[in-house]
A and B are shown apart, each in its own frame.
Chain A
Amino acid sequence: MSPVHFIAIPLFAAFLIPLVGKVSKNLVKLIPGIVFLYLSYVAITLFPIGIHKPIVEIIAGFKAPFGISLYYGPLAAFLTTMITLIGFVIWLYSYKFIIREPIEKYYMLFMMLITGSTGIVLTGDVFNLFVFLEITAIAAYSLTAFLRDKDGAEAAFKYLLIGSFSSTFVLLAIVLLYANVHTLNMADIATKISSVPLTTRIFILILFLMGLGIESEMFPLNGWAPDAYSQAPSPVGAVFGGIVVKASIYALMRLIYLMFEFQSVMHFLVIMGVITMLIAEMSAMRQQQIKRMLAFSSIGQMGLVIIAFGVGTEPSVRAALFQMFNHALIKSLLFFAAGYLVFHSGSKKISALDGLGHDKPITSFFFAFGALAIIGLPPFSGFWSKLYVLLSVANSGLFAAVALILFSSVVEAIYYLRVVSRLYFNTEVATDVRRTPVSGLVAMGILTLVILFVGFYPNLVLHWMTPAANELLNKAAYIKAGLFH
């Protein structure tokens, strides 16, 4: 068993799907499910090994600084498991939700996206990272335009424009890095980066920040997100929020912690995180469409994650990872529920949701559940991660940031509860004879159970996140494992 399966199997499935599509459409729908079941088997087998001692997989027999190697440490173990879990529920949800043709193209792009994001998480080579970023990005552009309507094409084009800029910046940064250190292996770069002049280093850092900041929704580079989230099919919104953005923020943080751990960079991250969070939450407040609101809320949550990464202590990095995990779960649940609410009400507007809580009690319950969880009410998992982020930020003495996080939580509570109250406390009852399919309900049910479970036993998850946080902070161990395995 080796971590390369995480990349190879979805990629193989992506190429298999169009062929199988010629034979049977029903088989196409099953393939991603089989892939995810297999990947979860791989994840379960590898997780206990990788969490103690990183597995370094050498591809094609070229040793570490020369060839491409995969690095499956605690952090990668945590992220690949998360991607597999979220991917599985997204597949379950898509099973009945994506009924438009061409189904095989949807699943093919979805598999490509999974390939790209697990690749980003696993790779130990910067250029390889760029390639996987591009795989993810191209699949994401196409999925945004999946519905073939006017706005979908426009949102996709906008995303593509911004995304190509971002990839150009990343590529330029990699080229400059190579010109200075003559290696592409991340562990090797980390050992040699100190010989690079400071101005060059800062220039490279700025290019990386601009490039990866776009994909990880950092202010002011997140203009693509609301359009892409709201115009893509609902499960794709969950893919963006739960998988793509998480992989990109991982890439950004890995590079920063390995190569540019200056104190001022960390301060910059905290400041950018706060600005991202405040502006996104304020924008979410005045949205009329439910999926745009969720998109802005997602940007706001990423702001919170960036703040916690920027604080840079062990508890705060752990809290950031925990927040990433919770956000992936809860935001997927919200997108799932919102997808069917939009479907039943026939409009993307929040005002069209009046009274749906009486007509569609189960879907509305899931939405309300997700809303309460993301605001951070106790027994849900969102409470713990927000609490740990706040505690770690407070421990570092950044009380202004604490106040702003609390303030934005209040804003968040207001706009989520506004939607929930529309669902339940409006007497005007809308009726829709169509029912929410079972597969969608099961997908939402699984997420709900995981959120509740993590909410009641947060220490179980945190226990696994401590080594992951340490891996990110402990540069020397990464270099040692990456180069001299």
Chain B
Amino acid sequence: MIYFITSVVLILTGMYAVLVKKNLIKIVIGLSIIDSGVHLLMIAIGYVKNATAPIFSKPGLTADKMVDPVPQALVLTSIVIGLAVTAVALSLVIRLYDHHKTLDINKIRKLKW
């Protein structure tokens, strides 16, 4: 249960950072925090108490004594994707800083609807 609560708290913290903060770097950090929250949620869903890794390593080890491997596989993929997005985001931030000499989103906002 604690994992679920933590993951929701993480997601909300990240959203707060993305929506409220004015600094581009902090916004990118917020995106990463949201990602971490979702990843924790995924792991928590597959978690089984007192279970081991899903490998038939010992005799007598049955499937109900193992954690669900699928969410773990998903999390791995998702972490890699998150990394790629963060990298692209940071490179865009660098370029924005080069052009504007500031990281304040209010001073950059030139394009409008």
Contact = CB atoms under 8 A, between A and B. Distances in A.
Contact of A226 (B38, B81, B93, B113): B113
A297 interface: no
B92 A156 contact: yes
A94 to B, nearest CB: 21
A175 B92 contact: no
Contacts of A179: 45
Interface in A163-203: 164-165, 167-168, 171-172, 174-175, 178-179, 184
Contacts of B85: 134, 138, 160, 164, 167
Contacts of A477: none
Contacts of B70: 178, 184
A223 interface: yes
Interface centre among A157, A174, A179, A226 (most CB of B within 10 A): A157
Nearest to B32: A164
B22 interface: no
Nearest to B45: A179
B66 interface: no
B74 A127 contact: yes
A157 B70 CA distance: 32
Interface string B78-111: 1001001100110011011001100000001111
B67 interface: no
A175 B89 contact: no
A161 interface: yes
A450 interface: no
Q: Which label, helix, strand, loop or mixed, suits the secondary structure of the B interface?
A: helix
Interface SS, A side: helix
B108 to A, nearest CB: 6
A227 interface: yes
Given A138-B84, A227-B111, A145 B27 contact: no
A172 B37 CA distance: 10
Contacts of A151: 110-111
A131 B73 CA distance: 13
Contacts of B89: 157, 160, 164
B84 A150 contact: no
A155 B110 CA distance: 10
Contacts of B110: 150-151, 154
Nearest to A135: B81
Contact of A168 (B35, B71, B88): B35
A223 B95 contact: no
Contacts of B35: 168
Contacts of A184: 70
Contacts of A148: 95
A158 interface: yes
A153 interface: yes
A283 interface: yes
Contacts of A149: 99
Given A151-B111, A164-B85, A157 B24 contact: yes
Nearest to B96: A153
B46 to A, nearest CB: 9
B18 A223 contact: no
Contacts of B71: 175, 178
A142 interface: yes
Contacts of B77: 127, 131
A197 to B, nearest CB: 16
A323 B35 CA distance: 36
A58 B25 CA distance: 42
A134 to B, nearest CB: 5
A281 to B, nearest CB: 14
A141 B88 contact: yes
A151 B110 CA distance: 8
Contacts of A178: 45, 70-71, 74
B92 A150 contact: no
B99 A150 contact: yes
A145 B95 CA distance: 9
A189 to B, nearest CB: 13
B41 to A, nearest CB: 6
Contacts of A134: 81, 84-85
Contacts of B11: 168, 172
17 contacts: A131-B81, A138-B81, A141-B88, A145-B92, A150-B100, A153-B92, A153-B95, A153-B96, A154-B110, A154-B111, A156-B92, A168-B34, A168-B35, A171-B38, A178-B71, A184-B70, A223-B113
CB-based closest 7 A-B pairs: A153-B95, A150-B99, A179-B45, A157-B92, A134-B81, A227-B111, A153-B96
Interface of A: 127, 131, 134, 138, 141-142, 145, 148-151, 153-158, 160-161, 164-165, 167-168, 171-172, 174-175, 178-179, 184, 223, 226-227, 231, 283
